[in-house]
Chain A
């Protein structure tokens, strides 16, 4: 038999629990214990393209276009001789902050000597002979990456990724271009497009040592 007053106690406990739950809900509304944020709001930038895909796209795209427009060696060397700083401003690509710049130039000439790390080439021009060296040893530095001015450090998650693009491009030079030069002998003719990092206008190396990004032997009858 249910004792008298039991239903009223039941209702009273119910109201108490409801009040506690409501108070807790109101409190938590103003002082949330957790915050659930939709995944989209926290998503960062899209995943970076792989270093190899960036290098491939640059090699066949921006760099190839840049090579097609490269000035003649005579124009570049004359400009450097006249005023190296002005030549850097007009013909070079500057990346970041510093005195250095990257030059790209095209030429055709005769092989004068073949050394372990480079091939000497003389280019005959109306103003006289120009000597350059096409590097055939291991390729280092950022000349190839920076030549076209198309890749920026800010496009990568950190500078290490940016540097790996340089390594990937240098490797493409070693695999795709240098083998065409290693079999050359003095007297043979070669056509090329090459790039070089100049550390400062005050210290332009002579002869220029170019990293070839395009090269082919020119047959004698051509």
Chain B
């Protein structure tokens, strides 16, 4: 007679597997408000990619300030451009009873899992400035129209530099949709002019110090350079510093993106050729207001993506801009 033990062990394994079928995952405890209850005074987490860049400091502070104006507590978390730190922040937020997240992602794809986890826990996430590549995770995404901004900037680039010349491009963080959008927007215009040749393209991680270092190398290798396009103003300011140190200011035109205060002043002073204003305060305030409506009014019908227009800043109109937006 056959030994019954193997059959019984098989039955046991079958029971183990069958126990996973059809049964919903154990539900995490719902935070207050997840079941539709209105919350007048909530706790918001402002998770920002980095506070090492003044532009993101403005973004975070504007989000926090608006949340507090609307009657909520707000805490800022700095991911330091590290996806692992971002994961840890989300874990702390979900364990810490926060009601909403105002979120500036480190990675357009890698950050999706964090947003989904928050959603499943009943904590809505409102993305600011940086997009995630999912339409069913964030409650809403308030984004700069970076591509369009760079199309406008590139048309200005061609007007200023001409249809022939050598230029370099400094890219932002790899894996960030903004890096891709800005570069694609720029090239969608400039690549139509075969006389304009890109002699160098390198990432400087949206960082001023790296922008300086990368630009120094590019200048040494390309002494005839006519212009540089930088994916953000921090890199542009670093690049300008390198150009000035090399005695080439006025010869190498510098184009940035963001509308940072020092860059706008540089355009006004005739140093940088142009930048593009992104309105971080407007985006941050909008995200806080959406989160407020979600919690206090139960609003759920947000547009998944709201694009905030980016405006070209040149010496002709720079007087309209300052303090990360339009002057009053």
Contact = CB atoms under 8 A, between A and B. Distances in A.
Nearest to B178: A159
B308 A34 contact: no
Interface in A138-188: 138, 140-142, 152-154, 157-160, 162-163, 167
Interface string B298-323: 00000111111101100001001000
B147 A160 contact: yes
A21 B8 CA distance: 6
A158 B15 contact: no
A158 B127 CA distance: 13
Interface of A: 13-14, 17-18, 20-22, 24-25, 28-30, 32-36, 44-45, 95-100, 138, 140-142, 152-154, 157-160, 162-163, 167, 199-200, 202-203
Contacts of A100: 309, 311
Given A45-B135, A98-B309, A167 B188 contact: yes
Given A98-B311, A99-B311, A159-B147, A152 B20 contact: no
Contacts of A142: 148, 151
B180 interface: yes
Count class of interface residues, chain B: 35 or more
Nearest to A96: B307
B15 A21 contact: yes
Interface of B: 4-5, 8-9, 11-12, 15-17, 19-23, 25, 108, 131, 133-136, 143, 145-148, 151-152, 154-155, 177, 180-181, 184-185, 188-189, 192, 282, 286, 303-309, 311-312, 317, 320
B261 to A, nearest CB: 20
A157 to B, nearest CB: 6
Contact of A158 (B131, B192, B306): B131
Nearest to A48: B135
A96 B145 contact: yes
A200 B189 CA distance: 22
B309 A99 contact: yes
